Structures are given as structure tokens and as C-alpha cells.
Amino acid sequence: MRKNNIQKIGKDVIQFEINALKNLKSNINSSFSKVVKLILNSKQGKVIISGVGKSGIIARKWAATFSSTGTPSFFLDATNASHGDLGQITSGDIVILISNSGQSNELKNIIQYSSRNKYIKLIGITSKKDSVLYKNSDVGFLMPLIKEAGPENIVPTSSTSAQLALGDSIAIACMKYKNFTKLDFKKIHPSGTLSIKLKTVSDLMVTGKKLPVVNEKIKMKKALNIINNKKLGVLIIRKKNGDTSGIITDGDLKRIAQKYSNFEHLNLIKVMKKNPVTVNKDTLAASALSIMNSKNITCLCVHKNKKIKKTIGLIHMHDILRSNIN
């Protein structure tokens, strides 16, 4: 077989799948809206997804995507369901069954079990309107009739690509309507690269007794002792009402010592840097690092929000870099 022929086959398969996705897009109608609304209106139940063969593999992906985007879900093995695992389905749950033909024998027991309980809602994803699955579904979504990419139209290829895309579409629609944010995403993804990228200033900042905070009226001598003890290379200077009025750094102290012969008796308020650069506690650590780089500084005062001028934490460049954020 020639090299060019191999490449043509690859391109043809991808074109088949592109066509399948275009057909699916044309089928996104009121049935799609009903599926999404049914899931959104399920306040306490779970979303249980099942399928057989290649559709079963797609069902696993649906469950994983739903769960990671704020819709509690799990995959139910159709064979094991008939041997006791039907007990995992309870009142208030939504069952989604994926089957291109809608006639898979392994799914029939799940269909019957769900149909007997009016508090269990069944969503059928199939391409056959006259199938057992579609006829018994509370909400049915008809997949377009899709030509598979392989010879003789027998290998599930284009159809499973369309199923995969449909699952993503439903999950993201639910995600957006729930206002599921990147902070929500971080809570259920505590490990891995995504979690690192989503770390906020509040995850890494220094707080409480470790925070190097002093009154603006103290002398430089005392300030020098505190900055040495806290070992953060900076002092946060507060007014009587608790608002931050300025900061002073190790570098500032060295410059002051060179400028004033009797610097230990100076008041901090006379030599501090006023209006230090601040960030909100929910700012992404990566964004905080970018601010430091652009301002050529190594730390930022952290405030609860823009309106409150009281410093609740200190984020240092070293803490961000140690977390492999860059």
C-alpha cells in the first residue's frame, strides 16, 4: 500500500467524523433542551449512565465529564446491573442509556426497572425512534443516522464520536447554567496540573501570627528586629484602624541605613512605601506572579476584596515558584 493511500484513508476517516458532528449539530433541538433541564432540575438525585460495547465506553466518559463539571454521576455496568447493581438506582435519580440501536438486550432490565418507578427519570440516547429505549424514555434524544467510517458501515467510529460530542455538549450546558466556576472546578480537582494552575493567592499566602505586621508609629530599631524574626524580608505597616498604610522591605532598610546615620530612631511612617501593590485573596497565584514580575517586586499584600484596605495575608514570589507555578 502506498504512503499516499494510507494518508488518504486517515483523512477520509476524519472527514466521516466531521460530517457526523455536523449532522449532530443539526439535531440539537428542543429534545436537547429537555435533557439538560431534566438534569438541572434533579436537585438531590444522581445521574447514572450506562451503555454496552463502544457505547458503554462513551458512557464512562460521559460520567467522568459530568462529575468533574459539577453534576454528580457514575457509570453503571449493564451486565452487573442485572445481577444486583440495579440497587444503585434510587428514587430521584436520572438514568441515561446510550445505544445506537436502542435494542441492546443488556439494557432492557435497566429500562424495565426505571420504568416501574415514577421517581426515576430515563433519558434515552439512540438513533432509532421505534426502538425499545426511545419508546420507554421520559426524554428521548434522537441521534442522526450516521455513516460509519470503516468498511461495510459496521465498525462504530463516526457514531461514537457523535455520542462523545453530545455528552460534552450536555455537560457544558449544565455547567454553564449552574455557574460552575474555575474555583468550583479546583475544589474537585485537588491534584494534577489543572489544580496547580487554579491555585489562588489564599492557598499560598502567609497569614496569622506569621504575618509581619507593625504599627506605623514604631521606630526603625524595633522594625529591624521584627523583620529579622519574621524572615519574610518585608514589614506591613498598619494604621490604628487596621488599614494598611505602607510596607518596608529589606532593600528599603539597606538604602535607609546608607542615607541616614541615625536611622534606628526614625519613625516608619517617614520612610515606608505608601499604597503598596495588593491583590484579592481569590486572585490566581499565576496572575499574582505576573503582577510581581511586571512591577519588579517579590511580594504582594493580600486583601479580602478591593474595598477593604486591611491586609489579611502576604504572598511571596518564592511560595508561588515552590508550587511549580510559573
| Cβ contact 224:230 at 8 Å | no
Q: For residues 289-302, give the mean pLDDT.
A: 90
Q: For residues 41-68, give the mean pLDDT.
A: 94
* 139 vs 269, more confident: 139
Please give the pLDDT value at position 271: 78
User: Does 11 have pLDDT greater than 60?
Assistant: yes
* 62 vs 220, more confident: 62
Looking at the domain that runs over 3-180, which CATH code has it been given?
3.40.50.10490
Q: For residues 71-99, give the mean pLDDT.
A: 95
* Band of pLDDT at residue 1, cut at 50, 70 and 90: low
- Range with lowest mean pLDDT among 2-6, 34-38, 94-98: 2-6
Locate CATH 3.10.580.10 in the chain: 201-322
Q: For residues 46-64, give the mean pLDDT.
A: 96
* 177 vs 245, more confident: 177
Locate CATH 3.40.50.10490 in the chain: 3-180
Fold of 201-322: CBS-domain (3.10.580)
Task: List pLDDT tens digits, range 240-286.
Answer: 888 888 888 878 777 877 777 777 777 777 778 888 888 998 889 99
Q: What average pLDDT is seen over the chain?
A: 89
* Band of pLDDT at residue 198, cut at 50, 70 and 90: confident
